[in-house]
Amino acid sequence: MMLEAQELSIGYGQVAIGTGLTLKVAQGEILCLLGPNGCGKTTLFRTLLGLLPALSGDVLLGGTPIASQRRAEIARRIAYVPQAHAPPFPFEASEVVLMGRTARLGAFAQPGRADRVAALAAMARLGIGDLACRDYSRLSGGQRQLVLIARALAQDTPLIVMDEPTASLDFGNQAQVLAQIGALVRDESPQGRGVILSTHDPDQAFALGARVLLMHRGGVMADGPAAAVLTAANLSTVYGIPVTVETTGSGRKVCLPTLDRQVTPSETPRAIPVA
């Protein structure tokens, strides 16, 4: 299963936020989107999921235009983890996770024992089994985010789209979620799962060994392996501060911003796109 965007223009009405966006992610791959606030990452995700119409270009899911597919069919192929979620009713956390199983049910069908087992197993996998009977609306932002990730796991799709999945999490839970994302691409299915996620932390892309799509000014600046895309020049240009990329003693690359000054136009390094 593969999700592709071909020369995609995204936006609202006739106002384009991004143009010429091309990407693809297949099972067994992690694609990490990085870019400053307002560059269009969330709008891109909503377009890839078929929730917003593309202004131009194509979104293909399994080789078929997503606009021609039924919502139930899409839900069996892609799970979505949004940035935030405020339910209108005080559901228990396990009930929110169980909602992920509706993609597997027929019309008017009720979740069965196997669905409840899958929901609880997804919560246990993320270490939040003790939250099962808690009021979801009264959980912390980080706990709610973990519940939404568990819902996506329970949905059991070959592809998962995650919009800043670690944004509300503390340091330990961020590490736990990153470990689970890495495990998803190596899970029990023959091809693993494909994950496309957005983050504001380039170090997470290095930790995951992900392919990176770096967005800037409504377009794709670079697309390729993290080590090739997340250069000091590219990051300094995109985020407007001097950035260095260092290698730790264990061999992992980390990004170190300089906080005491901004990049002036004369200092701005030239970005080098990666094929």
Q: Same domain, yes or no, for 30 and 61?
A: yes
267 inside domain = no
Q: Same domain, yes or no, for 69 and 1?
A: yes
62 inside domain = yes
Q: Same domain, yes or no, for 16 and 71?
A: yes
Q: Same domain, yes or no, for 166 and 140?
A: no
Q: Where are the beta strands (DSSP E) in 108-174?
A: 159-163
The CATH number of residue 185's host domain is 3.40.50.300
55 inside domain = yes
Nearest CA to 2 out of 38, 19, 27 is that of 27
Q: What is the pLDDT along the chain (275 residues), one digit of tens a residue?
A: 899 999 999 998 888 898 999 999 999 999 999 999 888 888 999 999 999 999 999 999 999 999 999 988 999 999 999 886 666 678 999 999 999 998 877 666 788 889 999 999 999 988 899 999 999 988 888 888 889 989 999 998 999 999 998 887 888 888 888 888 888 887 756 668 899 999 999 999 999 999 999 999 888 999 999 999 999 999 999 998 899 999 888 888 888 888 765 545 444 444 434 33
> Where is the domain boundary, 139, 156, 173?
156
Q: Where are the beta strands (DSSP E) in 98-242?
A: 159-163, 194-198, 211-216, 219-225
Q: Which domain does 2 fall in, by range? A: 1-77+159-231
Say how far apart CA 58 and CA 270 lie, in whole Å: 30
Centre a 10 Å sphere on the Cβ of residue 97 and count the other Cβ atoms it contains. Answer: 32
> Where is the domain boundary, 120, 138, 156?
156
270 inside domain = no
263 inside domain = no
248 inside domain = no
Q: Same domain, yes or no, for 60 and 175?
A: yes
pLDDT at 173: 84
240 inside domain = no
* Six-digit token string for 70: 């039924």
Q: Is 237 helix (H, G, I), strand (E, B) or coil?
A: helix
Q: Same domain, yes or no, for 32 and 102?
A: no
Q: C-alpha distances in angstroms, 107 versus 29, 102, 117?
A: 32, 9, 21
Q: Same domain, yes or no, for 61 and 175?
A: yes
Question: What are residue 219's phi and psi, to 5 degrees?
Answer: -140, -175
Nearest CA to 81 out of 65, 63, 97, 62 is that of 97
Q: Same domain, yes or no, for 176 and 70?
A: yes
Q: Pairing between strand 64-65 and 243-247? A: unpaired
Q: Same domain, yes or no, for 97 and 51?
A: no
Task: Specify the pTM.
Answer: 0.85
103 inside domain = yes
Q: C-alpha distances in angstroms, 176 versus 43, 144, 187?
A: 27, 15, 16
Say how far apart CA 51 and CA 74 lie, in whole Å: 11
> % helix / strand / coil in the chain, to the nearest 5?
35, 25, 40
Say how far apart CA 90 and CA 152 lie, in whole Å: 20
Q: Same domain, yes or no, for 90 and 183?
A: no
Q: Same domain, yes or no, for 6 and 71?
A: yes
- Torsion angle, alpha carbons of 188, 97, 116, 172, to 10: 60
> Are 93 and 132 within 8 A, CB to CB?
yes
Structurally, the chain folds into a number of domains equal to 2
Say how far apart CA 42 and CA 139 lie, in whole Å: 24
Nearest CA to 247 out of 224, 263, 231 is that of 231
> Where is the domain boundary, 122, 156, 190?
156
pLDDT at 176: 83
Q: Same domain, yes or no, for 48 and 171?
A: yes
pLDDT at 189: 60
